[in-house]
Amino acid sequence: MAQARGSAIIAVVTVLLLLMHCNIGSATTFKVGDDGGWVFGVQNWPQGKTFKCGDILEFNYDPQRHNVIIVDQEGHDSCKPASDDKKFQTGKDQIVLNHGKNFFICGVPTHCSDHGMKLEINVE
């Protein structure tokens, strides 16, 4: 019983720390590419925008033509995802931003490298 209570306290403290760190209560949802969506040439879309921890990126696209993969900087720069990178392919994906740099690419061959379907999002 004491162990269960201790685990519950740890869980509550962890959630509170995450809420304080990311300020999720005031999250903003951003549509990647605005009305154009997640398409070729979207790499400059973040310019002029301010992103905060807990904000949500909404990727809208044709799932038969594109996908979204969360990658590290190397995956972003090389346009090559690692085998264990998280892949989204619903066409209406919502991804919560973490503090620091967040990187995304389209994993369809040549879409990232030749057509600019990649993003680097800097989060305050």
- 113 Cβ neighbours under 8 A, 6+ residues apart: 79
Closest alpha carbon to 70 in 82, 60, 62, 58:
82
Q: What is the pTM of this model?
A: 0.81
What pLDDT was estimated at residue 23? 56
More confident residue, 111 or 11: 111
Amino acid at 100: G
pLDDT category at 26 given cuts 50, 70, 90 is confident
Question: Quick check: helix, strand or coil at residue 78?
Answer: helix
Residue 68 structure tokens: 């979204």
More confident residue, 114 or 16: 114
- 64 Cβ neighbours under 8 A, 6+ residues apart: none
83-94: average pLDDT: 98
Residue 64 structure tokens: 């038969």
The residue ranges of DSSP E strands in 1-124, in sequence order, are 29-31, 56-60, 68-71, 87-88, 92-96, 100-105, 118-123
